């Protein structure tokens, strides 16, 4: 355990024990270090401003933090919008927004505040819009004012709220100026998080039907489709980013010579299914996982400049689409990750109903209601 991790663990132990103190010996045993190291770390933390107190004969204690002062309704109109929204989330209250959409039209709406998230294009409030009676994301830089009401938010199904976050990608800002993500590090981290989420969903789906359980045949067909198309999509995006020839990762099966020619989608898909039919469910899952793992390694190590500009959008059919940021190409709408999730969603017993299409004053997300590959 390095020093930073040790300091984190030390503070975590003190907070978990609060308001009871912990002795040097107990802390040293839990952290696997000497008592001298514990004393030195505590001294460092104390000098850094952490309010660690000494209880004579009993050890050290970290006083419980006093709860923040509750924000009044009037106070919510006077302070920063972010603070008002954070208070609404913390206290599970309804907040009234003065919201300006992409076209410049202003609306006033009551929103049950459930979370604040950071996406590549900015920070968003995730909540249940009472005017639209559905989950919505609101860009904070479009919230002109926020009023914290005294009404409590209802308890909402987590999956319903997350539907506003999973496949849709925040729209780039309208008007002139760069459309790239707000910072290479944030865009890269967001993309890698999406990659890991999709990889875990593939693992879970495979584990559920392993051994010939119900749905195994359907999943085999889907994984064969996804392995080949994801292999191609990711290779095309990397080639567009680097200018190199496409490199196809994973365990690609042999295809007939005509596979590389200009074929209709149906004909190409039949060849894919014929080639993949000879492989086991586990082999298909490993193929797709290796493709995604290679994409993760490349995304983690590629140049920062690729995340800050825009790249041509390689399409399976026809000419490239309009330029988009790399995070959008990999993890946004029409991208390979959205394509995988779309098919996994439709393998469930009760596929989620497509969210209501955004209206003219609610254009902050793209909603995918059919396979992104053929959209």
pLDDT tens profile 80-137 = 899 999 999 988 889 999 998 766 788 899 999 888 887 655 788 888 888 877 788 8
* DSSP string of 94-121, one letter each residue: EEEEEEE-TTS-EEEEEEEEEEEEEETT
Q: For position 293, what pLDDT does the model report?
A: 93
Residue 276's nearest CA partner among 263, 259, 261 is 259
Residue 95 is predicted with a pLDDT of 92
> How many angstroms separate the CA atoms of 23 and 18, rounded?
12
**Helix, strand, coil tally for the chain in percent (to 5):** 45, 15, 40
CATH, range 3-61: 1.10.10.10
Supply 190's token pair: 């967001």
Q: What is the pTM of this model?
A: 0.51
CATH architecture of 184-345: Up-down Bundle (1.20)
pLDDT in tens, 200-237: 889 988 888 876 666 788 888 889 999 999 999 999 99
Domain boundaries, the chain: 3-61, 73-162, 184-345
In the prediction, which pLDDT does 211 show? 63
**Residue 286: predicted pLDDT:** 93
169, 190 in Cβ contact below 8 A?
no
Cα–chain-centroid distance for residue 42?
Answer: 36
Fold annotation for 73-162: SH3 type barrels. (2.30.30)
- Residues of the chain under the 50 pLDDT cut: 167-182, 349-370
Task: Look at residue 298 in the predicted model and tell me its pLDDT.
Answer: 93
Domains 3-61 and 73-162 alike in fold: no
User: Do 181 and 325 meet the contact criterion of CB atoms below 8 Å apart?
Assistant: yes
Identify the pLDDT of residue 234.
Answer: 95
Contact 235, 283 (CB under 8 A): no
């Amino acid at each position: 355990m390095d020093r930073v991790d040790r300091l984190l663990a030390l503070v975590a132990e003190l907070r978990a024990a609060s308001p009871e103190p912990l002795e040097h010996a107990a802390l040293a045993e839990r952290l696997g270090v000497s008592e001298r190291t514990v004393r030195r770390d505590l001294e460092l933390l104390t000098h850094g401003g952490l309010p660690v107190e000494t209880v004579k004969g009993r050890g050290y204690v970290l006083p419980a933090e006093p709860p923040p002062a509750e924000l009044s309704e009037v106070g919510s109109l006077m302070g920063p919008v972010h603070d008002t929204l954070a208070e609404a989330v913390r206290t599970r209250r309804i907040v009234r927004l003065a919201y300006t959409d992409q076209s410049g039209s202003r609306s006033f709406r009551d929103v049950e505040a459930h979370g604040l998230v950071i996406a590549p294009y900015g920070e968003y409030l995730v909540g249940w819009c009472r005017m639209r009676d559905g989950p919505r994301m609101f860009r904070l830089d479009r919230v002109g004012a926020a009023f914290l009401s005294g009404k409590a938010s209802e308890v909402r199904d987590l999956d319903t709220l997350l539907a506003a976050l999973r496949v849709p990608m925040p729209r780039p800002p309208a008007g002139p100026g760069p459309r790239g993500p707000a910072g290479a590090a944030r865009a890269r981290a967001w993309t890698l998080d999406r990659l890991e989420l999709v990889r875990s969903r593939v693992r879970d789906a495979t584990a559920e039907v392993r051994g010939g359980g119900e749905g195994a045949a359907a999943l085999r067909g889907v994984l064969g489709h996804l392995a080949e198309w994801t292999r191609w999509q990711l290779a095309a995006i990397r080639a567009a980013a680097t200018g190199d020839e496409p490199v196809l990762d994973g365990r690609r099966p042999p295809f007939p010579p005509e596979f590389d020619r200009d074929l209709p989608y149906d004909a190409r898909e039949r060849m894919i299914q014929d080639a993949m039919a000879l492989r086991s469910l586990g082999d298909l899952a490993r193929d797709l996982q290796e493709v995604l793992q290679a994409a993760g390694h490349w995304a983690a190590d590629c140049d920062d400049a690729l995340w800050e500009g825009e790249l041509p959008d390689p399409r399976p059919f026809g000419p490239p689409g309009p330029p988009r940021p790399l995070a959008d190409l990999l993890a946004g709408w029409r991208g390979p990750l959205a394509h995988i999730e779309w098919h996994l969603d439709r393998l469930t017993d009760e596929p989620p109903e497509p969210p209501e299409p955004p209206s003219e004053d609610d254009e902050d997300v793209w909603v995918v209601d059919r396979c992104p590959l053929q959209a």
